Structure 1
Amino acid sequence: MSAAEDDIRTLTPEPDALGERLDRWLAAQCPDLSRSRCKALIEAGALSVDGAALTDPSAKLREGVYQLHVPAPEPASPRPEALPLDILFEDDHLIVVNKAAGMTVHPAAGAWTGTLVHALLHHCAGSLSGVGGVMRPGIVHRLDKDTSGVMVAAKSDAAHQGLSEQFAAHEAERAYIAFTRGAPKPRQGRIETRLGRSDHDRKKIAVLPEHSKAGKHAVTNYETLSVYGQVPGASVGTPVAARVACRLETGRTHQIRVHMAHIACPLLGDPLYGKGRGGVLAKLDDGKVFRDFSRQALHAAVLGFVHPVSGETLRFETDLPADMARLQGFLETL
């Protein structure tokens, strides 16, 4: 859709409305939009006042001229696209792929084309399970856009149901390789928290208080496989970075990224939960290794499950992608 088809609305609040909750007021001004839709638009930065973007739906209405940008409707369903896929296994019921970093799993705001769903629709020629909905056919679990590694998608409804049950019961084996700033203390352990949307940054997931009724229970088991370098001036045994294996008991949004940052070992290259580009990553910009490592250093290395139709035990393991292998090679020189 072209920008000319977007809907730009200018709104000025009445004096007696000042102080109202922003999303409630906006929904009242735009009866064709639900309150949840208004809330999503605000969180996406589509509402501004006097030229300044607003992103908190619960903020209080204040004086000013408001402008709402309602994007033109996207196609009702994604269309097949001939995109390359690294296929590890495929039969009539499911397909296992090694997803490349940079590929979004399913269509969403800002990624209406070029997703794994588009690629699967083309490759599978209409044989994906519809259980996941119009925008997520066949999708049983997800990886972040910039996380690489093994994923399974369902081609039949029976496979979708069976796989979903295994993931919900935490019966699928999921192991990730991460490179972290510093090394975990202790070197092996279990991180168990509640995770939910951050009140301060809607793009982030945060660790919530244990007694919180919000969020979801999340468990990550980790083991430090290697440590690299020594932080100058720090006590002996304070590594610059580490290679860590993480095994999931639950699969929450950004779980490993948030949990490792929570124990003061953010993933190298993580633009959301990391601590800037100083230290280790600054040395990667000298051109001798590669210009930049701008994604989180996280790879879904292992996926194991029981085939939901045949009953066969399947397990897939992939090597580090080229960029993470180069990163490891650099770390080994520290």
Structure 2
Amino acid sequence: MDEAYIEEGELFEHHRIVADPKQELLRVDKFLMDKLPNVTRNKVQDGIKDGFIKVNDESVKPNYKVRPGDVLTVELPEPPSDTEIVPENIPLNIVYEDEDILVVNKEPGMVVHPAYQNWSGTLVNALTWHFQNLPTMPNNDGRPGLVHRIDKDTSGLLVIAKNEKAMTSLAKQFFDHSIERTYYAIVWGEPIEDKGTIDVNLGRSLKDRRITAPFPEGDFGRKAITHYQVLKNLRYVSLIKCNLETGRTHQIRAHLKYIGHPLFNDATYGGDRILKGTTFTKYKQFVDNCFKIIPRQALHAKSLGFVHPSTNEFVQFDSELPADFQSAIEKWENYVNTVD
């Protein structure tokens, strides 16, 4: 079985291949060349040497012979894109910059890279205007500087690689899940536990490929772990902090819906309607006003920590909550205090 995913946190294509019970002994590089589309032997061998290809969760050498029942996990760069990047003079909110990296605070509503229906106005369009010769992951044309991404309507911090050394270092850290990422979210309801860990496999929904679905039995999807902590209970909604141990597509959004607390105003995961509270018209009007204040899922990538590619020291960056997010919190605080 071959499962392929493009993850929010890591720009890698993922495959899980189980060797047939009658599989004859065959070098792992030759085996994968037969199984993966549009892949070269050099690409496979480089992936093995870099530790991106494992057999039974262990690193192997290119001359390893695949045996019946072996489980091969492959994480390779995404297929090439035909998108031509047009530089656009779009202002960037730069939090930090040096010769190796750039940390930007992305506004909500900005798409990270050009894609279907969003060919312009993206973060990448802005980056190519402001910076020359940004590196690109192999076979990942059209996304210079990117080593991770966040959703269009999620605001917050992204780190950009300004040279090949930085790109290799950061990509490996994302691959190893050693990057520290903290998100703030407004969710419907009050979680029973003030702290918790959601350890539930996530994968593309079998009914709608645009949605990430939970697979609690572990029979599908990929391992996904989110740690959360309640920062403020507001009776009908809560402000929580999430730390990602993995970086699957829509991980926080899907995990929080799974435990019964969808993100406030997350249309994709059912948070754009009243899920907690009364049926009174006045309350409905209040919630509608909150939706207008923050017309997106209430999720912000607040902090980012990693080992600097050149200094090898751990660095951490933090951001303020955007105005719409802060206004929504204040409005709920005022409402709860008033009805008390």
TM-score by length of 2: 0.69
Is the CA contact 1:224–1:245 (under 8 Å) kept in the aligned structure 2? yes
- Give 3-state SS (helix, strand or coil) of 1:329's partner: helix
Shift of 1:130: 1.6
- Give 3-state SS (helix, strand or coil) of 1:130's partner: coil
Between structure 1 and structure 2, the one with the greater Rg is 1
Correspondence for 1:181: 188
Identity level (%): 43
Shift of 1:215: 1.6
User: Does 1:293 pair with 2:294?
Assistant: yes
Q: How many residues align?
A: 249
Q: 1:309 to 1:198 in 2, by over 3 A?
A: same
Q: CA deviation digits over 1:36-85, x for unaligned, max 9?
A: 9xxxxxxxxxxxxxxxxxxxxxxxxxxxxxxxxxxxxx974211111111
2:292 and 2:265 map into 1 onto residues whose CA distance is 13
User: Does 1:203 pair with 2:210?
Assistant: yes
**Unpaired stretches in structure 2, ≥5 consecutive residues:** 1-36, 38-80, 278-282
Correspondence for 2:313: 312
Is the CA contact 2:201–2:224 (under 8 Å) kept in the aligned structure 1? yes
Correspondence for 1:262: 258
2:216 and 2:194 map into 1 onto residues whose CA distance is 24
Is the CA contact 1:271–1:294 (under 8 Å) kept in the aligned structure 2? no
Q: Name the amino acid aligned to 1:302.
A: S
User: Does 1:217 pair with 2:223?
Assistant: yes
2:239 and 2:319 map into 1 onto residues whose CA distance is 16
**Which has the larger displacement, 163-172 or 251-260?**
163-172
2:286 and 2:322 map into 1 onto residues whose CA distance is 17
Q: State how 1:81-100 maps to structure 2 within 5 Å.
A: 81-100=88-107
Is the CA contact 2:265–2:295 (under 8 Å) kept in the aligned structure 1? yes
Q: Name the amino acid aligned to 1:215.
A: G
Is the CA contact 2:202–2:212 (under 8 Å) kept in the aligned structure 1? yes
Structure 1 consecutive aligned stretches of length 4 or more whose deviation exceeds 6 Å: none
User: Does 1:331 pair with 2:332?
Assistant: yes
TM-score by length of 1: 0.70
2:218 and 2:257 map into 1 onto residues whose CA distance is 21
User: Does 1:119 pair with 2:126?
Assistant: yes
Q: Name the amino acid aligned to 1:172.
A: I
**Unpaired stretches in structure 1, ≥5 consecutive residues:** 1-35, 37-73, 229-238
Shift of 1:211: 3.4
2:218 and 2:162 map into 1 onto residues whose CA distance is 40
Correspondence for 1:143: 150
- Give 3-state SS (helix, strand or coil) of 1:324's partner: helix
2:221 and 2:311 map into 1 onto residues whose CA distance is 35
Q: Name the amino acid aligned to 2:222.
A: K
Correspondence for 1:233: none
Alpha-carbon RMSD across the aligned residues, in angstroms, is: 2.0
Correspondence for 2:136: 130
Q: 1:258 to 1:155 in 2, by over 3 A?
A: same
Shift of 1:202: 1.7
Q: CA deviation digits over 1:4-47, x for unaligned, max 9?
A: xxxxxxxxxxxxxxxxxxxxxxxxxxxxxxxx9xxxxxxxxxxx
Is the CA contact 2:104–2:159 (under 8 Å) kept in the aligned structure 1? yes
- Give 3-state SS (helix, strand or coil) of 2:214's partner: strand
